[in-house]
Amino acid sequence: MRLYAVVAAGGFRRYATYRVATFAGVFTNTVFGFIMAYTYTALWDERPHLGGYDLSQAVTYVWLGQALLMTCAMMGGGFEDELIERIRTGDIAVDLYRPADLQLWWMAGDLGRAAFHLLGRGIVPMVLGSFAFELALPRDPLTWLAFLFAVMLGVVVSFAIRFLVALSAFWLMDGAGAAQMAMLAGMFFSGLLLPLNLFPGVLGEVARALPWSSLLQVPADVFLGKHTGWDLAGAYAFQAGWALALLATGRLLQTVATRRVVVQGG
């Protein structure tokens, strides 16, 4: 357990090293936040209470999206590129030889990364956004805590998906195609482009049931106070259910995949 805590701390520090990159990222998140917040303002001006949000909640949703974009790695990026490369080059053999669990090792690192991205990339754009727009920030500190827990579950779901993407490289050798598909799905079905409650009919129902909704839609609804009491427990159960199912699939796939690994001597 101590080992994984160290790995997580390492993941945090690794991303914290690049200060200029973090600053640049914050700048970009803020610019996109502004563009989308203006768009949503026009949309909600036309149709107040669309999707059950009022204007300030809709704009808050935009800034939450920018805050969690990197944290929950909605568009991918992060550890999976590295893992794919290790699988392709064969370095994975060394990883399997280590006295640590492959899945837990990478998950610990990714949780550390997410923690940094939440602090380093999440807070500043939100604060800047709050200067220009009226945001619906929770008054109750418990709601903030509930939100943080939902974000953590979202990160785990996101990790589990990206771990599956990375493992596909055992069969495909080149993970670029799978990573791209995952990016598209993550961008669209997390609710980053448009809240999932605005998706019409069956598309909406399917989108809300898919694992990607754990990345943004569910944490945002917790933040906006849409889930309370048993409903909140249900939201957590939804996220945790997907997390467990996807992690278990990853574990299974890992077992199958490692049987395929052949270490060429030399």
Partner 1 sequence: MAEEAITEASVEASGEASVEASVEARAEGVPAAEAWIPRVSRRAALRDGLRAYGLIVGMWMRSTMAYRASFVMTAFGNFAATAFDFVAILLMFAHVDALGGYSLPEVAFLYGTSATAFGLSDLALGSMDRLGRRVRDGTLDTLLLRPVPVLAQVAADRFALRRLGRIAQGLLVLGYALLTVDIDWTVTRALMLPMMVLSGAAIFSAVFVAGAAFQFWAQDASEVQNSFTYGGTTLLQYPPTLFAKDLVRGVTFVVPLAFVNWIPALYVLGREDPLGLPDLAAFLPPLVAVVCCALAGVAWRAGLRAYRSTGS
- Site for partner 1, rule CB under 8 A: 18, 20-21, 23-25, 27-28, 31-32, 34-35, 38-39, 41-43, 46-47, 50, 174, 176-177, 180-181, 183-184, 187-188, 193-194, 198-200
Q: Residue 75 or 93: which CB sits closer to partner 1?
A: 75
Tell me how far, at minimum, the Cβ of 96 lies from partner 1, in Å.
Answer: 28
Q: Residue 71 or 239: which CB sits closer to partner 1?
A: 71
For the chain, what is the HEC assignment?
CHHHHHHHHHHHHHHHCCHHHHHHHHHHHHHHHHHHHHHHHHHHHHCCCHHHCCHHHHHHHHHHHHHHHHHCCCCCCCHHHHHHHHHHHCCHHHHHHCCCCHHHHHHHHHHHHHHHHHHHHHHHHHHHHHHHCCCCCCCCHHHHHHHHHHHHHHHHHHHHHHHHHHHCHHHHCCCHHHHHHHHHHHHHHCCCCCCHHHCCHHHHHHHHHCHHHHCCHHHHHHHCCCCCHHHHHHHHHHHHHHHHHHHHHHHHHHHHHHHHCCCCCC
Tell me how far, at minimum, the Cβ of 188 lies from partner 1, in Å.
Answer: 5
Q: Residue 198 or 253: which CB sits closer to partner 1?
A: 198
Tell me how far, at minimum, the Cβ of 21 lies from partner 1, in Å.
Answer: 4
Q: Residue 25 or 250: which CB sits closer to partner 1?
A: 25
Tell me how far, at minimum, the Cβ of 3 lies from partner 1, in Å.
Answer: 30
Q: Residue 201 or 229: which CB sits closer to partner 1?
A: 201
Residue 204 to residue 202: CA distance in whole angstroms: 5
Q: Residue 193 or 252: which CB sits closer to partner 1?
A: 193
Closest CA to 30 of 126, 114, 137: 126
Tell me how far, at minimum, the Cβ of 17 lies from partner 1, in Å.
Answer: 10
Tell me how far, at minimum, the Cβ of 128 lies from partner 1, in Å.
Answer: 13
Contacts within 8 Å (CB) and 24+ apart, 13-20: 13/112, 14/109, 14/112, 14/113, 15/112, 15/113, 15/116, 15/117, 15/120, 16/116, 16/120
Tell me how far, at minimum, the Cβ of 162 lies from partner 1, in Å.
Answer: 17
Q: Residue 70 or 222: which CB sits closer to partner 1?
A: 70
